[in-house]
Structure formats: C-alpha cells, structure tokens
Chains A and B, each alone.
Chain A
C-alpha cells in the first residue's frame, strides 16, 4: 500500500512541492511503525510488531528483513530440533503444507531443512554501519552511544541528581544545544561536527527532509529508511512512542519520536559529510541499491519453508485443544449451586491454579475475567501525592480511590508514613550526594555487613517493599481501598449514583448473573520478587503492571453493599442474601492466595470460609507441584517445592523467580465447562463468556477488541523476544543496568535502551521455555456475531486476516470447531484434519 503512495509522487516536475507534502506522511507513517515501551515501574506487555499488523505476517517478516536484517521466524536449527524431538510430526508438516497452500512435498520440506538458510540481509544500513565496513571502526556504537546518552539525560525520571539544563525544550532542540557544546565528536576526529550542528535547522521535520535529500535516498526507499533509522535506536524510539501514547490517551500529543528521528538522521548526514570518501560513497550507493531489490527466489523459498514449520508447530499445539474442546461435556453440573465461586484473571498462570482448585474442590466453580475486574480506578497509596492507574493501558481510569487505614484518623496515618518516607529519602540523599557520600561511607558503611548477610539469606529485602514502605505491620493489615469520597478530596471514591451501573456491567461482562455461591472469591494476582528490575512485568497486565489487589477489593466491596444488591435485583440480577464477595490476591511466584478482610465475612459463612482456605492451600500445593518440573524441581517433595518457591520470591540473586506467561499460546472465550478438566498446561488465557446471555453481542465485542488484543500483545511480546531478542528482547539479565531511574534497562554500560523480555524469562540455559507460537483464539459464539465484529473493527480485522492470530469458532452446543480464513470463510476441513490425525496417533 505504501508503494502506491510513493509511485504517485515520482513525477519529478512537481518534485519540490510534492516531496514536502510527502515527507511528512512518510515520517508519520514510519513513526507509527514503532511499538511503545512502558516504564519498569509499571511494565506491561506490548506487541513489538504493533505498527506492522496492517501487513500480513509474512510481509512484516520481509519488511523487517529488508529494514534491519531480522526475521519473524526462528532459525532453521530450532525447527529441526522440534522435528527430531517429535514435537513436530509428519502429519503436522503435511497439514501445514496444505494450510500454507504450498506445493512442496513432505520429503521436500524435510530435506530442505538440512540445507543452510540464506544469510540474513544487512537491511537498510545507516551511514555509520556502512562507514564501519569501510573503516573497520566503531562508529555505529559511538553514534548510538551519543544518542542514547542524550535520550537518557533528557527523559531521566530521577537517577541523576543534577538538574538537566534544558527542561521544557523539545528533545531535538535540547540536542541541538547539547551537541553544540559536546566535544565527544571532536575527540573522535570529527573536527567540524560542532560547527555543523550550529548550522542546522531548528525544525525537526525540515531536518529530516534535508537529511533524506542529502543522503540521496531514493523516494521509494524513504519510508523504509526512516523506519530503519528509528529501529536503529529502537529502544528510545519505543520510549518516545510510549510518551506519545500517554499524551494521546489524555487527548494531547507528543513529538519526541520525530525529534529522535531527526537526531538520528542528522548524525548520519554530519558523519557522511565529514568522512566522505570515494569508498564510502560507493559502498553507500551499493547499500541503497541492494536494499531496493526484491527478495530473491531463494529467499522466498526459504521463507515458505519457515512458514510451513511455524504452522506445523502451531497445528500440533492446536490439535490437543481442539480435541479437548470437542469432547463431550457435562452440562448438568452448571445447574447445581456451586460450593464456592472463584473469579481469576484471564492470565495463563490462573489456568493452572483454577484447574488445581477445581481438582481439590469439584463442587467449586471458577471464572476467568480481566484482572482489573472491570473497574476503572486510579489507586492512591496512603500518603502519596498521586496515584497509579490500575486499568488496561488502552484506557483511562475513571475514579480515584484512596488507600486508607480502617479505624484510624487518615491524616495522622498519612503524616506518619510521609515522615518515614521523607526521612529515608533524606538519608538516601546523604548517601548519594557529592558533598556527603564520603562521610556516609565512613560513618555508616559498616552497617552493610549485616545487610549483606541478611539479604543473602533472604531475611530482608535489599530495599523496602515499595507497597509497604513506611507502614507498620499492624497498619498493613488494616489498609485497603475505600469506596467513599474523602472529605479532603471530594472528587475521590465511586459516587453512589454510579455504583449499581458498574456492578451490573461487571457481573454481566463476567457472565455471572445467576446461581451465585455463598462465597464468591475475586482473586487478583501479583508476583512477589525482589531485586528484579522487571518485577512489575510479572504483576497483572490488566491492572497496568500493578497487582490486582486494589481492583479486586474495590469490586468485592461494591458487590457487598446492600444498596447495590437491591439495585441489581431491580435490574434482574438477584444475588442471594447469604452470598458474600471476598477479595484475594494470588501470588503467582509462590501460588499462595491471600484473602482480604476475612474478618468482615458474616459469621454464618465462617465454615465456608474455613473450607475455602483449606481448598486454596491444597490448590496452591497442587499448582506448585505442576510447576515444579519447569522450575527444575522434579522429584522434590511438596514441602521442598514450597520452600523453594518461597526462597525464589525473596532471593535477591534469583533471575528466574517464576516463568511468568512463558508458554502462552491460546485464548479461549467460552463457558468454563468447555475447558473444564482439560490440562491446558498454563498456556491458555481463559475468558468466561456465555453468548446466550449477551444481548446484542456487546460483551463479545469488548472481548474481541480488548482482552483478545491484550492477549495478542502478550503473545507477541514473548514471540518477538524469542525470535529476535537482540531487537525485541532485553538481553541478558545479569548485565542489566537500570537507566533513567525507572525507564528501562541497558545491557552493560551503554547502547540502546532495551525493550521486551530478558533471556532468563524465556530460556532455562538449555532450551527455550517459551515456544514462539502465534495465539490460537477460540470463541464460542455464533459465526455471524464474530464476523460482524471483525467487519467493524480494523484492529481485529488486521489481526485475524493478516495471520497474527489463528481464530477458531466453537459451535454451541455441539462444540464443533471451525477455523477462520481471511475472506469470510470458515473451514471445518482443516480442523477435521487435525482431529483425525490426533485420533490416528492415539
């Protein structure tokens, strides 16, 4: 589609006028290709190929190959290993060949796998990369380092103690200022650099246009070149994209990304101008020419092979799920009042725990729903000046909820906490500032003998727990969110007139409108780990990288209010008198589940509560045992596993506290009975959905545009981090170096800001723990309803039609499954294939 746009512009007669118009579009288009990066203080998953979903999966891979020499497939050796270990079978390949519409035979494929894959492209190289090839120098790293250092200083959230002198200026303006002072380039032999910087335009878009023409980039290649330049400093580009994302959520805008592009391109030109030599010019033209060639026949054949192997792996995975969903179900159980209901986040880690809970308590019913439980809150910790959003990152919070201490004077409690935090901050400044750090060492350095010991044994945390800092143990037990407005903040809390609406909306979205148990548990999740820069990435993504505690407690409290109950009754949701909602937090590192405000559970339910506690404990044991093999603890006793996961949650040297969402590969929106009893190995997002209760398919629309998209983001974050960790992952955790306070990590002492997941979250040292598979989505709903939503939402259309996810429809009540094919085609045969192969194998 972009070539069309460019071909219109190749008429040279109007070159000047048109290119001015054109270049702005190209800049915006290149910028939209970059995926945002959330800061470490609330790290959430992002699809790194977010800006490429309007391409087919294969086109995106080709684009990346031509831009940065990357690919969306694993190396040949990986697929070969899967073949040799039996993970990919002959039937998988056979079916994949058909699914890809290939004319290859199975023998062809097997044989071709052993041949060496073509060398990766150089892609659209920057001037510095070409110069490195001419001179054998260190220019690329040098330029990257200069830009990265500038970005770190400009965006710093509070690591540096000295104030940045150009606060308030744009990134590009501040760079112009700094670069006209900075002598680094001169030290590297670029004597004219500062002088040339002084001559630059102050307008970033004009600078980009100037650079593109100076470098002689052919028009057809401009967008790709801009895209490559941004990916050349991809980490900071992602951060700038995040700032734009946040600004747009609030209705504004942010052009740091364009500034960054301008800086990157200006560097290219200034380097080119000063190092110009016949060899450089020749190599440069060579690079431009080769980057414009279409992929060769050999490459295309190779891509086809990759495609077949990826599909083969996915088909093998889908087969077990399809067969499980199709197996006969017990509908009768649905009608009996469950002993307890427990709602969990759709997170794949919940699947394991839910299954365990259902195993130890067959009379219990579990439900899956996004972990913020549908309540849009910003949560303000006790004593803090501002709060954190606890809603999915595509939304804005609607209510400000304060953390409060029950049965205490809030002002006093706040004051106490503030004083403690202020004191610890004062001490920290004493430790770090230039005039006092030496005396700090001599007077207090010895304290670290005990600190080193107690941290080594996991008795203490290296720094205070951010959620509990400045609170007494007895206070912590009494803190929690409050629904009502505070007298000093009239705009806080959830107003009474809104409460019934929210309660109704939430219950309906959870398909929880009748047959309530006496005790209903709403369990958010979080992960307790220490000394882990990516800790918030293990918390609840639906709560914007916070734990699900606040949301679960708010919703439970809401649903226990008598006036809300009576309001719901008038709207057709009758919650029995004896039903009580209780909030909990599932610690995914230890599989312990904490219940909140258990003392307010009515006396009449005390036996149910005791029973629930016992079940939760047993379920914890069972899920830990299931995780044991992946944690390298097979053959260890129950207690041994329990004590080891506890250690992991407190060990400052632990780089694999838990496996997070590694393995994720499926998303299922259906009533739980469809999947009950199936071992989904903690690889599936489970969303409760009963289309018969869904008037006008509003809930289905929500599921397909929010949770499904978020699941795709998570899935692709893992996918990208595995297939190309260099560009879309964050490298080796033991080298991580937090930059900008809480922005992200560098690997080692410099280089680009890193995005995505660390290797240690994906690989156990011997093999990949995460299988890079695209998400297989199963939705139990009428075809027409699904098609309608695909038709109305571009993002959904792009995902399902361009091969970023596999979409399956589950028929009710038969459980028959058909696969969506782009062009409005549902296909049973592909699925039939999968099943017959499965049955033949069994």
Chain B
C-alpha cells in the first residue's frame, strides 16, 4: 500500500506569507458580517441578570406539604412533585409522605430498570450522549452549536448556546440580525435552509423539527413561533437532518431511533426506513441525491441508493462509530473518519462500464493518516491531528478541511478528483486567535451567482465566526 498522506507537512497558515497576504486582503470577505456571538450571549445573560422579576417583591407563604406537592404537580409535573415529596423540607414536616414518596420512587426505578433491560434503546437521551455523536466540537459548552448557509442567497444562520438562532445577511453589521427563539426549540443539534425557498429554515432540536419562515422584520424582542413543529414519532431529539436537492424531502435521524425518517413536510407525511441494528446518528445526502449515507452509533453504517428503489448497502468499520463524513462535490466519493482511529477512509461510487456490462466495485480504502503531530519545524509548536471531529469539502472539490477532537488547529488538505481516483495532500493548518480557541463547527458557503469562490466558515468556541476564502 502506498504511503498515506499525513499531517507532518501541514504548516500553519502564518508561515506562508503569500497565503496570509491574500487572506488579509480579500475584499469580498470585508463585506461579510462580523459575528462575535460571545458578546451577544454575555449581553443577554447580563440583561437577564438585571431583569426584574415580579416574584421578588412578594413574601413567601407557608404552604402545607400536600398543598405544595399538589401545586408543584400542576405546575411542573409528576417527577418534580415526587422530588418535592422526598425533599428535606417535606421529610421534616411530614415524614410519612416522604416515605411514601421514597417507595413510589423505588417502584418507578424498578419499573424503569426493567423496561430498559427489555428495550435498551428507549433510554432517555441525555445532552452528554447527544454531544458524543453530533459533529459540533464540545457541543455542550461551545458558544456556537451549528451554522447553516442559505443555498441561493447570502444568509447565514448561527445557532447559539442560548438556543437562539440568529440570521445574518450582508448588511447585518448595520441592521440587527433576525432572531429565531422559542421555548419549543432547545438543545439545537442541526439545521438547514430549505432548497428553492428564500426564507424557510428547519431546526433540529430536542423537541423535534422547528420550521421557521424567516421574515425580514423578525428582530430580537418580538415574540415569534415556528410556522410548524414536527415531533419525532417516539418524541426523540433530532440529531441530524438533510434536505434533498429540490426541497421536497427531509431526512432526519435520532440517536435513539433505528430508522431514518424521510419527511414530506408540505403534507406532513413521513416514512421511516427501518433497519435492524443500532440507531442512526448522522446523515449525508450526496450532492446529486443518488446516495444517502447514514452512520449509526455503532460500527455499522449504511448507504441507500435512492435511484434504485432505495436499496441499501451495509458496511462495518473497524471500531468505534463514524464520527464525520462528507461527499465529494461530484458525488462519486465519500470520505469518513471513525471515532476509533485517526484514519481518513474513502468509499468510491463509480460505475465502471466495460462494454455492455456495468459493475460498481466498492471498497473502503484509507487515504490519509490523521495521527497527531507537531505543525512546526522546531517541534515546540501546536499539535495537529488526532481523532477527527468534523469534515467539510469545498464546493469546487479542491480543498478538504478537517477539525479534530483533541487538538485546536484545523487541517486543510488539497484534493484532486479524477474519474476513478482522488489524490490528497496536506496543505496548511488554521488556528484560532488564541491558543484556547477551538473550532466548534466548520462549513463551506455554497456557490451561487454572486459568490463563485469557496469560503470556509469557522465557528470558534469563543463565539467568533471566521471566514477563510480559498483560491
């Protein structure tokens, strides 16, 4: 096997004066909105801190234990009232009720344990478990949780830690960004603008799918609501979603569900693609919609052929689960990295025609070694590599960008796509403003009439959004 491309020759961008010069003097990037989400988040926190709550001016009253539990039951539900019944205050005032609460909690625990033994996939999905499988780096604590570019016009949606999605346009520096905020939209994991629509965005979150029609007059402070909300049939959080290219079908997955769901959002119908095996975690539709890649929370991943009656192929990786994957712009190659080993793999979807016969030989081949190494010549500089976090391929197919879980730099590879082969070589690395800044989310801006240059958008853990233009 030929030597794999690796990160040893991946110098920081600052070491190449030509590239740095071109970056700092890109006139088109100056028109992009300057986003620093941390300041907005801090402002909203401060505002919340200074907010006057009416309840502060009222004196607490002494309620009886039963009355208090009943009130909490109607205010916050069964589990909260059970907690209240078992609390120290209730235990002191009415030990009998507290003991009854303990008994009920034990019985519920036993029932729940039994249920989980029989149906292990029904366990509640904690935020930690979601964070394990989403592509966003440090999803739990990062200021930015997701980015989504509009496919046809200049609109960037940024989902923040505060469960608010802000929509930026070219003139967002002068006009406040539109804000999508709803109590029915928490723990955002993914989002996507609908193709062939100017203003519809769908947001995947704990509650399901929130559809918004982004109007120009949506600003902070106005009460808004999603135009539609679709819940997962098993009320599970959505962890990955993708539209097909004509915007008629939306594919979603949840890490608690063993099926990929295809929604027809206009009439609210859906069809699950059920398969035996572990639940699905990640979805990637090939650019021409011929293939649908779906990774699971285990070693298995599947690829559906959407043009051939949705037949599926099952693949198994060496260990771990597929952490991230991306399609080449031509739709012939799929690259993926598993969580267990820092190796970039390639899967080829090229039909070879020999005379009248047609064969599609598919095999998984390693193409790059992503093991961590030092980026500088002296060896003291920052490390790059390790287990991959996220990947993005530029729309021209010339650059592949990879972020990592344990190191803070982003690796940029040059790619050469041929008919049956791709070649890959390390180009340079990108780092944050400070050593502590980590990439949270990376994506490329789609190409359209006004923008024919590949622009990488990087959301750093600090909440800063950086744009990096490629040649």
Question: Do these two chains interact?
Answer: no
User: What residues make up the interface of B, taking CB atoms closer than 8 Å to A?
Assistant: none
